[in-house]
Amino acid sequence: MIEYLPLVAAVGACLALALPLVDDRADLFVTRVALSAFGDYVGENEARRRSQRDRMRAAHVAGTTHRVYASRTLLYAAVLGVAGSVVGVYGAAALLAALDVGEAAIRGALPSAVEFVAVVARLADLGLFRLFVLLAVVSATVGAGLALGAYVARWQLLDQRAHARAAEIDATLPRTVAFMYALSRSGMAFPRVMDTLAENEAVYGEAATELSVAVRDMNAFGTDALTALQRISRRTPSDDLADFSENLASVLGTGQPVSTFLNDQYERYQAEAEAKQEQYLELLSTFAEAYVTALVAGPLFFITILVVIGLVLQDTLPLLRVVVYVGVPLATFGFVVYVDSVTQGVGGTEAVAESSLADPDTPSVTGVRHASDESGAGSDSPRFDGGATGRDADAAGADRWAESRERLRVHDRLRWVRRLIASPAETVLASPRTVLLAAVPVAAVGLLVFAFPITLGTPVEMVDQIDGPIVVATAFVLATYAVAYEFDKRRVRRVESAVPDFLDRLASVNEAGTAVVGSVRRVADSNLEALTEDLRRTRRDIDWGADVSTALRRLERRVRSPMTSRAVALVTNAIRASGDVGPVLRIAADESRATWSLRRERRQVMLTYLIVIYISFLVFLGIIGALSVSFIPAIEAAGVPGTGGSLPETGGGVPAGPGGIADGIGDIDVAAYEQLFFHAASIQAVCSGLVAGQLGEGSVRDGAKHVVVLLALTLLAFVGIALA
């Protein structure tokens, strides 16, 4: 066994590189080794260092420096290069051992058309010197390939992340500019506008995150606004944000009105967003046609041809299994990844809240705590929940409040249980991931109960006993997830459809001369569909002593939708700057209405692609069913004596007796072909459903319900075939 120690050491070194992902001490150790070995080298070439730092900044790599990242990259490349050299030697030796069967034996085992391949057996007869050269070449090739691949992959990963960030920045830039314009329109100073944007970067996405770097430079390092914005234009991967930063710096430098500039930029980006959506929809049309042609019609044609050849001439089951079990899933996975990379940041749906019954005491998405989140210690500010301030409490009172806080913590831990008892259905449906994790063991238990024990027999017979239950269990798991996901998604959609009307009415009442508090009270009495009940709770919060900002942040925590979070962030910050929030509300309403209009148009156009994919799958299922019901029985009957196989010739003059087209059909495993058809239809149902969700609704997660529908159609079709 001692001859395998280098191989074990090489594999162990490769596995050790993965330890930093799960252990902080291992991560620190790897960093120290990398800096000791390559820390001085990575800083020698200034041009290369500057280029690599720009790539790291564009990818927004946090928590590490260029020296650490570059040193670790070289360490990974060196370790993988050495390990690859060792593995290459053992791989070459294993190949030579496998070829030590003689050229004559290989020629006898291969068909005459490819017997020339047997010359590779001569490698086993090489002399010592030639053998050493061969192993050295293989070792150097594998090692250099792994080392170069690791080095290039580490830096290419940054480029991919930068490209993805650029797409996200371009997608979120219009609403970020709208936020800045609204705050500047309310009278807020520009530095405060930037600070507020940085505080709400979780709401406004990557564009706000990128601009918050300028805020950090100004606040932490004393950089002036012009220099900070110019640095952003150089480091950002987005061309749109680079132009915006340069133009904004010019406006600030020349003293022009910032509000006018931001208004022009917002209208420009909104028009560009509409144009990009048109390009996105045209791109989706191309992708839908390509998918139907290449990954539905193509495999169907290939399967049909192989089935005809397999049943009539020569067994093609192995090749069919490769197409069905490997080719179709891998091709679909590649298609999904490619479409996601091409359309990232252009279309799709925004992330919805994971829980519709989120804990009302969790921090707001806007990043601003409400009044009852204050600790109370060292503060004389009024509290709206009846609490006492720390300066007024004596020692005994402090102990009493400590006990109360402990009881409150226990109460908070049991809140989920109380919600479950009060509204079990809504609580369960509020978390799709939890529902999915709970459905998997239930499906596994059902599978064990209904599919086992398996009666021993041929492999085809044994698989026949479990493939149907597996498909049913898969449909059950995905159905539970789809129900929970759609419940939350439709709730958010109903709420967001009412947000533009809410902001419009609030703006109208405020512009008529009513204060913000009175405006909220009056609007809460109107009918705003899904928002009505939550707005009435907001009015009660105000009636019971909460200020408007606190009440609106509580509304945002209850609703948990991206559009509502943006509106609340804008309104609450505008209230700080001015009591006249009518113009700000108009801007927020226009931005929300534009976003909702684009989203609704996208859904309407995408419906066409859903229908196309459904029709293509039904065609696939129909042809597979025809092969099972008509073609296979006819071919099987043609090969059985007394059922038509003894006819002297077919209608086209092709002999059907011995030596004819039906000769040897009786040796074909027809049951295996029928089983493969069921598996092909089930796999195609899963693939088509996921692609339908991605193309039709913008996310693979939306495809769960389509997978359930298509699997149900597959089960019904094959149950009908079995009963026919």
Convert the pLDDT of each residue in 430-449 to its tens digit.
677 778 888 888 888 888 88
pLDDT reported for residue 687: 93
Alpha carbons 147 and 482: distance in angstroms, whole number: 44
pLDDT (tens digit per residue) in 191-225? 888 888 888 888 888 888 888 888 988 888 888 88
Q: What is the pLDDT of residues 557-597, one digit of tens each?
A: 888 888 888 888 888 888 877 666 777 888 888 878 887 88
Neighbour-count burial for 593-604, b at 16+ CB within 10 Å, e otherwise: ebbbebbeebee
Separation of alpha carbons 591 and 565, rounded Å: 13
Model pLDDT, residue 649: 45
Indicate if the pLDDT at residue 102 is higher than 70. no
Helix axes 66-98, 46-59, angle to 10 degrees: 90
Q: What mean pLDDT is predicted for residues 534-541? A: 87
CA dist 400 and 388 (Å) reads: 11
What pLDDT shows up at residue 450?
A: 77
Q: What does residue 525 show for φ and ψ, rounded to 5 degrees?
A: -80, -10
What residues does 655 pair with on adjacent strands?
A: 649
Confirm if 651 and 627 have CB atoms less than 8 A apart. Answer: no
- Taking the complete model, does pTM exceed 0.75, yes or no? no
Q: How far is CA 212 from CA 225, 451, 511, in A?
A: 12, 57, 32
CA neighbor of 362 nearest in space, from 202, 561, 556, 576: 556
* Mean pLDDT, residues 74-90: 87
Residue with tokens 């050299």: 85
Across all residues in the chain, what is the average pLDDT? 78
Banded model confidence at residue 310, pLDDT cuts 50, 70, 90: confident
The interaxial angle of helices 258-291 and 670-697, nearest 10 deg, is 160
Structure tokens belonging to residue 134: 């061969």
Residue type, 469: P
Q: How far apart are CA 418 and CA 435, in angstroms?
A: 18
Q: What share of the chain is helix, strand, coil (3-state, %, to 5)?
A: 80, 0, 20
DSSP alpha helix (H) spans, 379-458: 395-413, 415-422, 424-429, 432-451
> Tens digits of per-residue pLDDT, 250-260?
988 888 888 88
Question: Virtual CA dihedral for 107, 112, 117, 121, nearest 10 degrees?
Answer: 10
pLDDT, tens only, 41-63: 887 788 888 888 888 888 888 77
Higher pLDDT, 64 or 397: 64
Higher pLDDT, 298 or 413: 298
Domain ranges of the chain: 2-163, 168-270, 271-350+424-502+599-640+667-723, 503-597
Rounded CA-CA distance 680/189 in Å is: 63
What's the rounded Cα separation, in Å, for the pair 214 and 222?
A: 11
Give 385's DSSP letter: S
* DSSP reduced 3-state for 602: helix
Among left, alpha and beta (phi > 0; psi -120 to 50; other), residue 376 is: left
CB of 211 closer than 8 Å to CB of 205: no
Of 151-165, 346-360, 411-425, 557-571, the one with minimum mean pLDDT is 346-360
Highest mean pLDDT among 170-174, 478-482, 650-654: 478-482
Residue with tokens 């001085």: 40
Adjacent-strand bridge partners of 649? 655
Q: How confident is the model at residue 287 (pLDDT cuts 50, 70, 90)?
A: confident
Cα–Cα distance, 72 to 151 (Å, whole number): 10
Please give the single-letter amino acid code of residue 537. Answer: R
188's enclosing H/E stretch is none
Element (H, E) at 527: none
Residue 332: what pLDDT? 92
Q: Where are the alpha helices (DSSP H) in 39-117?
A: 46-59, 66-98, 103-109
**Distance in angstroms (rounded) separating the CA atoms of residues 394 and 506:** 45
Is 70 exceeded by the pLDDT of residue 346?
A: no
* Rounded Cα gap, residues 495 and 583, in angstroms: 23
The whole-number average pLDDT for the span 408-421 is: 64
pLDDT at 690: 92
